[in-house]
Amino acid sequence: MAAHSPREKFFVFLVCLIVGAMISTQFRSAEQAKQSVNQQRAEDLVEKLKNAEKENKELSAKLEEMETQGADGDRKVLNDLKIKAGEVPLHGPGVLVVVNDSKVTPKAGENPNLYVIHDDDLLRLLNELRAAGAEALSINQERLLDISEVRCAGPTVSVNNTRFSPPYEIRAIGDPKTLESALRLRGGVVETLKFWGITVDVKKKDNLVIPAYKGTRHFEYARPEEGGKG
């Protein structure tokens, strides 16, 4: 194998030096490009993170608002149901009706029962008030609901299984003028009762308080229908 001359060795050294410099330059360019890409990606990630945080705050605020509105809506629905079920006291304008037995002494041969208040008389008064738009009713502080009983119990009247003797105080919340007019109709229930001497005092009130229902409800046979189907 022939020996290389110094000139050839120098030439080979120069070629290696140039190739090394090119490789080094290419490596640095690749590293710079890589760093540039990584920096760009980092900046993109930071921007995306900021946007995500902003969106998360907006969604959290919206969720809180919806939860608050939902809670208020649930409370309103629950309160309406309690009112309809008679579980809360109510107040408002209406009429106060006080009914008492007649002070007239029955004539000979007359039926004395005609001169005292019966459950039918109270029911007629209540029906007139309901028909006139009464939104809540009570007798002697007993709240009246659809399940309430008003019936004779000897010389007394039983309301929600509580016995009362006259006078009977009926409270009705609604438009006072309309309620009073309904009771004072010519030939109506009040005029009929007064014919027998039974006293009926009707007064309009700006504010009446009707208590909550005190009784209990028992459902022995009724059950809620699954899915709300009839």
- Predicted confidence (pLDDT) per residue in 150-170, tens digit: 998 878 899 998 999 999 999
Please, which residues bridge with residue 210 across strands? 90
**Segment (H or E) for 158:** strand 156-159
- 3-state SS, residue 205: strand
Q: Which of 84, 106, 139 is the last residue of a domain?
A: 84
Whether residue 225 lies inside any domain: the answer is: no
Contact 138, 170 (CB under 8 A): yes
- Token pair, residue 2, equals 């022939």
d(CA 195, CA 122): 16
Q: How confident is the model at residue 217, as a pLDDT?
A: 73
d(CA 13, CA 6): 10
d(CA 178, CA 186): 14
Question: Is there a single domain that holds both residue 70 and residue 96?
Answer: no
Question: Is there a single domain that holds both residue 103 and residue 73?
Answer: no
Q: What is the separation of C-alpha 16 from the centre of its chain, rounded to a whole number of angstroms?
A: 88
State the burial class of residue 210 (Cβ atoms within 10 Å of its Cβ: 0-12, 13-18, 19+).
buried
Residue linked to tokens 């809620």: 224
Contact 157, 164 (CB under 8 A): yes
List all residues 6 or more positions away from 221 whose beta carbon is below 8 Å from its beta carbon: none
Which CATH number goes with the domain that contains 133? 3.30.70.1880
Q: How confident is the model at residue 184, as a pLDDT?
A: 92
Question: Is there a single domain that holds both residue 103 and residue 69?
Answer: no
From first to last of the 230 residues of the chain, give the pLDDT tens digit. 555 555 555 555 555 656 555 556 555 555 555 555 455 655 666 676 677 667 657 766 776 776 676 666 677 777 777 777 788 899 999 999 999 998 887 777 777 778 889 999 999 999 999 999 999 999 999 999 888 889 988 788 999 989 999 999 999 999 999 999 999 999 899 999 998 899 999 999 999 999 999 877 777 787 777 765 55
Question: Is there a single domain that holds both residue 99 and residue 61?
Answer: no
Tell whether the torsion through CA atoms of 182, 139, 114 and 124 is positive or negative: positive
Q: How confident is the model at residue 171, as a pLDDT?
A: 98
Count Cα atoms within 13 angstroms, Cβ side, for 228.
0
d(CA 104, CA 144): 30
Q: Which of 66, 84, 102 is the last residue of a domain?
A: 84
Q: Which of 64, 84, 104 is the last residue of a domain?
A: 84
Q: Which domain holds residue 66?
A: 9-84
Q: How confident is the model at residue 199, as a pLDDT?
A: 94
Contact 172, 91 (CB under 8 A): no
The runs of H, that is alpha helices, within 85-104 are none
